[in-house]
Amino acid sequence: MAPTRSLRCSSTSSMAPRLVRACARPVPRSSTTRHAMASPETPTTTTTTTTTLSREERKRQRMEENTNFAVENDGFKSTADQRAICAASFGLTALCVGESLSSASSVADVPELALSALAAYVLSDLGSGVFHWSVDNYGSGKTPILGNVIAAFQGHHSEPWTITMREFSNNTYKTCIPTIPFLVLCAADVDHPQWQMFWSLFSAFICLAQQFHAWSHMSKQEIPKPVAALQDAKLVITRQAHSMHHRAPFENNYCIVSGLCNPALDGSGVLQWAEERIFEATGVKPRCWLSEEELKSSV
């Protein structure tokens, strides 16, 4: 029998506006914030280091000092390792797409490859939604293999503005890691160019989803103009569409590539059906059923 839900909205209605405001403009959270850090725009003490930093870098540094990161030793700047992981993943994607295109022996092959690319774009949005739902609701930072990813997604709901501070590789490398062995196999499968095109682009869109997600938390003035144009065309997840995910009842709008699949995924009720079956089989409640008090005690 389906359990009675204790949705976050029942006890966190006061939390929703805070989260939405947080989406609108990054603000430091720590109650121990020093006076010089009270506002991201407040100038810091002049030192040799800070005067050589750009305004954006100084802001990132102040935010970094005042953020309670969900993952130990986390930060906003990309490390050399993170850049290398992203370069490997996107480099392999480029290799797979190149191999796939070079296999086209006639003009007749092109529509098939274009269809594969389109299918990857649409289905990666659905895949991002199912993946996002799973890590938002199940597991913790201690879960094997995916622990850091789970901690980052679940931590995002308490400090959503931090994603806007992350550099590209810092933001995407966690998703890029598992794609590397998969893309190596994909690159070796030269006999199936349509599948090469599909799986490599599917993987790339899933990796880029975190960057699209970050842009959806920024204002128009903060994102590159071409990205704003893509958002206006609804080809990548928009600020308005994703803000729904951060509002009560916190159980929908999980897709973060384009958001095109959100109405179908939410309307189907398949995620709620899965939550009830998992609860019946294991007794584990998804986090979207928990009250704010239960969420705090589950950490």
Q: Rule CB under 5 A: which residues touch Zn ion?
A: 136
| 286 vs 299: CA distance, rounded Å | 14
Residue whose CB is less far from Zn ion, 91 or 249: 249
| 243 vs 256: CA distance, rounded Å | 11
Residue whose CB is less far from Zn ion, 96 or 135: 135
Nearest distance from C-beta of residue 18 to Zn ion, angstroms: 14
Neighbour-count burial of 207, counting CB atoms closer than 10 A to its CB (0-12 exposed, 13-18 middle, 19+ buried): buried
Nearest distance from C-beta of residue 153 to Zn ion, angstroms: 6
**Cα–Cα nearest to 135, from 63, 71, 219, 227:** 71
Angle 147-156/109-137 helices, nearest 10 degrees? Answer: 80
Residue whose CB is less far from Zn ion, 28 or 259: 259
Q: What is the dihedral of CA 86, 87, 89, 95, to 10 degrees?
A: 160
Closest chain position to Zn ion (CB): 136
Give the dihedral sign, CA 212/156/168/135. negative
CB 149 within 8 A of CB 174: yes
Nearest distance from C-beta of residue 170 to Zn ion, angstroms: 16
Give the dihedral sign, CA 40/42/44/48. positive
Nearest distance from C-beta of residue 217 to Zn ion, angstroms: 6
DSSP string, 211-251: HHHHHHTS-GGGS-HHHHHHHHTTSS--HHHHHGGGSTT--
| 263 vs 259: CA distance, rounded Å | 8
Nearest distance from C-beta of residue 7 to Zn ion, angstroms: 15
Nearest distance from C-beta of residue 12 to Zn ion, angstroms: 14
Residue whose CB is less far from Zn ion, 94 or 130: 130
Q: For the chain, first and last CA: distance in Å?
A: 28
Residue whose CB is less far from Zn ion, 128 or 196: 128
| 283 vs 154: CA distance, rounded Å | 20
Nearest distance from C-beta of residue 225 to Zn ion, angstroms: 22
Residue whose CB is less far from Zn ion, 203 or 210: 210
Residue whose CB is less far from Zn ion, 103 or 134: 134
